[in-house]
Amino acid sequence: GSFEGIAYAASKAGLDQFTKSLALELGNANIRVNGVAPGRIETPFRRQRAGQYFDFMLEQTPVGRLGTADEVANAVAFLSSRICSFITGETVTVSGGLSTVFLKHVNPDPLSRLGRHENDSGLS
């Protein structure tokens, strides 16, 4: 999931299921289908977009750093190699462990997006 990222999260889930379904359809033709889901990867755009939250972003990642494009490419090369001949329909997450933890940052007041607050009367 992704806080305030419903469309993004749904798209990611759709790609994961697309990968699985295509693997089912093409498996008999000995065609493997796998996906790679990059986590937070070091790019000029990422650093600029993160701004003041860059250090916070690093704290959230178990390995304490962003990934590199080469690390994502290595996952693609691995899945494309013959040593993976029995792997199909999978999505490999290259996230430095980020996908294994619940983010420490959650919206403390999720109803605020709706113009309401948790302590409003009438909410139980």
Active-site residues, by number, are 8
Cα torsion 79, 82, 85, 89 to 10°: value is 20
**Residue 63 to residues 66, 71, 73, 120, 121, Cα–Cα distance (Å):** 8, 13, 19, 40, 43
Token pair 């990934």: residue: 67
Q: Tell me the C-alpha distance between 41 and 21, whole Å.
A: 27
Cα torsion 4, 8, 11, 17 to 10°: value is -70
Q: Which helix (H) or strand (E) holds 48?
A: helix 44-50
